Structure 1
Amino acid sequence: MKYLREIIIALSVALIVIMTATNTPAKDVVSVRKNVINLTQQEKLDFVNAIKELKTRPGTNNKNVSIYDEFVGIHMGAMSFTTMHLGGLVTLPQDTPPTGLASGIDAAHENGGFLPWHREYLNRLEKALQSVNPKVTIPYWDWADPRSVDVIFDPDFLGSNGSGDFVDLPNGEKLEGGRVVSGNFSEANGWSLIPELHFKIDTAETLGTSLIRYLPPQSAPGVLGFPLDKEQTDRILQSKDYKTFQLFVEGQIIVDVNGVEQRCEREPCNHNLIHALLDGNIQNPIGPGPALRSTLNNVPASPNDPVFWLLHANVDRLWAEWQNNGRQGSKFYAIPGTELYGHNLKDKIWPWDGGDSIPGSVGSIDIRPYLPVIAPDDIVRPKDTLSLRKYGYTYDTLVKYSFKTFH
Structure 2
Amino acid sequence: MLPRLLPLLVLALNALAIPTASEKLDSRANAACTNPTVRKEWRSFTDQQKQDWIAGIKCLGSLPHDPSLFSVLPPPGQPFLNKSSTFYDDLVYLHIDVYPVIHFVGIFLPWHRWFLDLFEKNMRGKCGYTGPMGYWDWSLDADDITGSSIFDSNPVTGLGSFGPQSNGFHLTDGAFSDFILAYPKPHTLSRNFSDTPFALGRLQPTPWIVDEPNTSAKTVITPERVNKLVTGHTGDFVKFYTNLDSPEGFHTTPHLMVGGDMSDAAQSVNDPLFWLHHGQLDRMWWMWQNNHPSNKNAFGGGTIPGVLTKLTFDLFPAGMPPLAHKLTPLPNDNFGEHKRVRDLMDTEGGFLCYVYE
TM-score range normalised by the length of the shorter chain: 0.5 to 0.7
The corresponding residue for 2:286 is: 320
Q: Name the CA distance, whole Å, in 2 between partners of 1:249 and 1:275.
A: 13
Alignment of 1:3-402 (within 5 A): 27-61=33-67, 64-79=84-99, 106-131=100-125, 132-146=127-141, 150-156=148-154, 157-165=158-166, 178-187=169-178, 191-194=179-182, 197-198=183-184, 209-216=187-194, 224-226=216-218, 228-240=221-233, 241-250=236-245, 252=246, 264=247, 268-279=248-259, 294-327=260-293, 331-334=297-300, 340=321, 343-351=324-332, 374=335, 378-389=337-348, 390=350, 391-396=352-357
**CA shift for structure 1 position 340:** 4.1
Which runs of 4 or more aligned residues in structure 1 lie more than 6 Å from their structure 2 counterparts after TM superposition?
Answer: 335-338
Larger radius of gyration: 1
Structure 1 equivalent of residue 18 of structure 2: none
Change (3 A) 1:342 1:64: farther
**Against the structure 1 CA distance between its residues 374 and 193, is the aligned structure 2 distance closer, same or farther, given a 3 Å change threshold?**
closer
Change (3 A) 1:53 1:140: same
SS at the partner of 1:213?
Answer: coil
Q: Which residue of 1 aligns with 2:73?
A: none
- Please tell me whether the aligned partners of residues 213 and 296 of structure 1 are also in contact (alpha carbons under 8 angstroms): yes
Decide whether the 8 Å contact of 2:52 with 2:129 is kept in 1.
no
1:164-210 CA-to-partner distances (Å, cap 9, x unmatched) read: 25xxxxxxxxxx971112221112xxx0111xx23xxxxxxx5x502
Q: How far has the Cα of 1:327 moved from its partner? A: 3.7
Alignment CA distance shift 1:385-1:145 (3 Å): same
Secondary structure of the equivalent of 1:394? strand
Tell me by how many angstroms 1:130 deviates: 1.1
Provide, for residues 198-251 of structure 1, a one-character-per-residue CA deviation record: whole Å limited to 9, x for no partner.
3xxxxxxx5x50211113479xxx98344822211111112311011111112x
| Contact 2:195/2:257 (<8 A) preserved | no
Count of residue correspondences: 269
Deviation at residue 328 of structure 1 after TM alignment: 6.5
Q: Secondary structure at the match of 2:253?
A: helix
Give the letter for the 1:242 counterpart.
Answer: F
Q: CA deviation at 1:335?
A: 6.8
Judge conservation of contact 1:347–1:382 (CA < 8 Å) in 2.
yes
2: distance between equivalents of 1:213 and 1:177? 9
TM-score by structure 2 length? 0.68
Q: Give, in whole Å, the separation in 2 of the partners of 1:334 and 1:223.
A: 28
Tell me, in whole angstroms, the C-alpha distance in 1 between the residues paired with 2:215 and 2:104.
Answer: 26
Normalised TM-score (structure 1):
0.60
Displacement after TM superposition at 1:326 (Å): 2.6
Give the aligned residue type for 1:38: S
- Opposite residue 193 of structure 1, the aligned amino acid is L
Query: 2-side partners of 1:51 and 1:324: how far apart?
Result: 30
Identity %: 26
Q: Is the 8 A contact 1:161 1:214 kept in 2?
A: yes
Partner SS, residue 289 of structure 2: helix
- Paired with 1:114 and 1:178, the residues of 2 have a C-alpha distance of 29
For 2:120 and 2:328, the matched residues in 1 are separated by 24
Distance in structure 2 (CA, Å) of the matches to 1:380 and 1:340 = 21
Secondary structure of 2:169's match? strand
Change (3 A) 1:335 1:76: closer
Q: Which runs of 5+ in 2 are unaligned?
A: 1-30, 68-81, 197-213, 304-318
Letter in 2 for 1:178: F
Give the Å deviation of 1:329: 7.5
Return the letter of the residue paired with 2:241.
Answer: Q
Asked whether the equivalents of residues 51 and 68 of structure 1 are also in contact (C-alpha less than 8 Å), the reply is yes
Q: Is the 2:106–2:300 Cα contact (8 Å) retained in structure 1?
A: yes
- In structure 1, runs of 5+ residues without a counterpart are 1-24, 80-105, 166-175, 199-205, 253-263, 280-293, 352-370, 397-407
- Paired letter, 1:133: G
Deviations 1:317-365 (A, max 9, x none): 01111111234677511179986458432111112xxxxxxxxxxxxxx
Distance 1:109 1:36 in 2: 25
Deviations 1:97-143 (A, max 9, x none): xxxxxxxxx32110111100000000010111112234233211111
Instruction: Give the 3 Å change call, closer, same or farther, for CA 330–231 of structure 1 in structure 2.
Output: closer
